[in-house]
Every structure is written in C-alpha cells, then in structure tokens.
Amino acid sequence: MSFLSVFGYDLFSVAFSLAVAVCTGLFVLRTLSFGRRKCRGGGIVLAAVWIVMEAGAAALLYKAGLMRYYSVNILMEYVQLIGNALCIGFLFQERFKRCWGIALFEGIAAQVSVMMVFILTSERPYDLSIREERIRYLLSNYMLGPAAILLILSLLYQLKVGDAYRRWLEHRDVWNWGTLCLSAYPVLVFGMMGLFTYGGMSRNSSLSIAYLVFTAALIVFHYKGREEWQRKEAAAQSLIVQQQEAYIRTLEGMQEEMRRFRHDYKNMMSGMYLTAKEGELTQALDYIQEMTEDFDSQIGGQIRQMSQLSNVCMTEIKGLLLAKIAQMQKEGTACELEVMRPFGGTGCRTTDLCRCLGILIDNAMDEVRGREDARVYIMVSCQEGYTTFRVKNRLYHDIDFHRIWQQGYSTRGEDRGIGLASYRKILEGYENVLPATSVQDGYFVQEFKVQERNAG
C-alpha cells in the first residue's frame, strides 16, 4: 500500500474515533452539550490539524514497519486518547480531566469492538501484500469495526452504564483512583497479547484470552466503583436526612414560639388597651413598640430567615445552611442570611459547592465563636450570569495573606488551617470560578463567583 493510501485510511480512523468520542460525550455520557458550549472556529481548526498530524504519524510508523511492535501500538493508543481528549477540549472548551474521561470510555469500547471483530473474522494476522487479504482487513477494520463500536455504545446506553460512569466523573475521590485503572488499558491489552504471542499462542488465542481478562477487569472495576459510589451516596443521603431534621427542628421551634406569643397576646393587648383608654398615648406607643420588638426578636428574625431560605431551591445547599444556622443558634452566634433571588443550582458540582461553602461558614463561625455580639453574614446572589456566594464575619486576629492558603496555617492555634487549603484546591479545578478574599472595615470577606455556562 502506498503512503497516501495508508494516510487516507488512518485519517478516516482518527476522524471516526473523534466523532464517536464526541457522540459518546453527547449522548451516552451526556457530559457535553452544544447548548452550553458553542464550538468555536479556532477549536475546529485545531482539531482538524491534530487529526491530520496523528494520521500522518501513524502512516509513517506503518510504512517504517514499526506497527508490528506492541510497544508502538501502546504508544499510538495513548496518542489517540490524548488527541481525542484535546480535540474535545478545543471544540467544547471543557476541562481536560472531563475530556480524558470521555476519551477513555470511547477508547475502551473501541478496543473491545476491534478485538471481537478480529476474533470472529480471521484466525491469523492479515497479510496486506495480498489483495484479498487487504480487502478483508479493510472490511473488518473500516466497516465491521465501526458498526461493532456503535452497537456496543448503543448497548451501554440501554444498560445506563454511561450514567454510572458520569457519576464517577462527578465524584472526585472515586474518579481519582478509577482513572488510573482505566488509563492502563492499552498496557493491559497489548501487554497480554504480546506475552501470549511470544509464548507460542496463536493470534486468536492470545486475543481471546486478552479479551476475556480485559472484560473481567472491566466488570470488577464497574462493580467496585459502583460499590464505592453507593457507599458515598449513602453517606450523603444520611447527611441530607440530618439536615432535614435540623429544618424540622427550626420549624418546630418557630411553632413553639408562636404558641407562647399567642398565649401572652391577650395580656399584652389588655395592658395596651388600658393605657390607651386612660389617654396616655405616648406610653401606649412605647408599649406597642416594645411588643413589636419582642415579637421581632422571638419570631420575626426566624421568619425572615426562613423566607430567605425559601429562595434556596437546591436541597443540598438548603440543608447545609439549616445545619450551620442551627449550630450557630446553639452556640449563641447570630446569622444573617440573604438570598436575593431564587437559587436552584450552579455550574459547580454539588459536593464541591457544599464543601466550599461549608469551609467558609465554618471558618467564620470559628472566628466569632464566644465573642460578644457574634454574628456571621451569608449571601447568595444570582444575577448577570454569575452566582455569588459570600461569607462575612468580624475579624479579631491579624491575617497573613501570604500564608493564608498554606496547609496548616491558622490564626487560632495548632491542628487547624486545613479548610482554606482544601477550599483553594477544589476551586483550582474550575475555570469558571472566581474566588476573592478581602478585609473591609474590620470584616473578613470570603466569596467566590461562578460564571454560569448558559450565560450570554
């Protein structure tokens, strides 16, 4: 085969692999969306350039006779994975970590389909110098192979495997160790094939054993990952139940205060009536004001707080705020919550959002705990394409802004200072989050703004 022929076939393979990876992200994993991120002309050009370069490199290696070595096959498999991940990033402006997860999913499905096709269609390697053999190879590699991968992806979609995989992508702890296992599949597959082939096995036998071992490893990984994810989900559900219990206790406390106020209402009104009847209007007005202040201090503050919470439509964040407010009430710390508009979600993962907001609130509570007139201010604002989370508290210690993000640094003693370091590490994983820290009029202000993807 001439170089141009090989280049043409490789160009088709690389472009088809990228197209399948994009479709996998859009329809099977549902982690990509044209509606959220529009493809830009520059991204399309970069993806096209990469496709041509990758196809050219593969053609050169084939013509040099290097593709018969398993180590070169492993190298080219990783080149294709990296290329697909980069091209998806170019096209959708997504983070490389998410793009790498999509490329891995497509690569594994493609590898399984290719192994199945070659096991079923030939008992030995193809001799491409023979025309009939070359036609059978092209038929297997460029017709049956693509049909097989589309069939496998359709099956995975029906079995909702993509949904489970997407949840792994969203759970940082599960994905961090899972990605290492999945990323090793080229070494596992081609390494086993090389080992069995050099041991005297036929190509089909080595392919079959490698296919079975690879499939078994995927099944084990799937169930281990599912078990880990279910364990974390159970812990998260338990936390939500605790937060809902705090919500119920807050409502019960308000009901009890209302009952107590209602019990005293007649006596207070009688006193006001007698005062007004005797013509002492100034005293009557003072009496009304005192009664209003009592009501406001006992119930009005809680009602205002609950009305602000009603604007939080995201269950996990509402539960987190309720739990923190209940803890502050128990410690004698006042909390002023302001939610300007209904808040139903943001571009951050729910777990990361809860962790970041929880860290900021915990730090504010620690700073004012035990102080006279201890107070924490929390604000959530959704406007102009941004969602802003702000936590403010009175500052009682000097802060070294050069060391504030260091692990272990704290103004409140030893064995502390972990929160802000974790907070910064979480936010570093987002390109659309803008954190800010400042001191304003004696208050320590921490906030982060999330630029929503559907803005503009």
Q: Where do we find the tokens 């792994």?
A: 168
Query: Helix (H, G, I), strand (E, B), or coil: what is residue 383?
Result: strand
151: its two tokens? 């069939």
- Rounded to whole angstroms, the Cα distance separating 7 from 12 reads 9
List b or e across 358-390, with b for residues whose CB sees 16 or more CB atoms inside 10 angstroms: bbbbebbbebbeeeeebbbbbbbbbeeeebbbb
Q: What pLDDT sits at residue 295?
A: 57
Contact 379, 388 (CB under 8 A): yes
Which amino acid is located at 353 in the chain?
L
**Is 0.75 topped by the overall pTM?**
no
Beta strand pairing call for 375-383 and 433-440: unpaired
CATH classification (class only), 312-456 = alpha beta
pLDDT at 280: 62
The mean pLDDT values, 10 residues at a time, for the chain of 456 residues are: 87 94 90 63 87 94 89 93 93 86 90 83 74 83 88 85 73 68 86 78 72 72 67 69 69 70 63 62 64 58 70 84 86 89 84 89 92 92 90 84 59 52 82 88 92 63
Tell me the domain boundaries of the chain.
3-170, 312-456
Find tokens 């503009």 and name the residue. 456
Q: Return the SS3 of 339.
A: strand
Q: What pLDDT, on a 0 to 100 scale, did the predictor assign at position 415?
A: 44
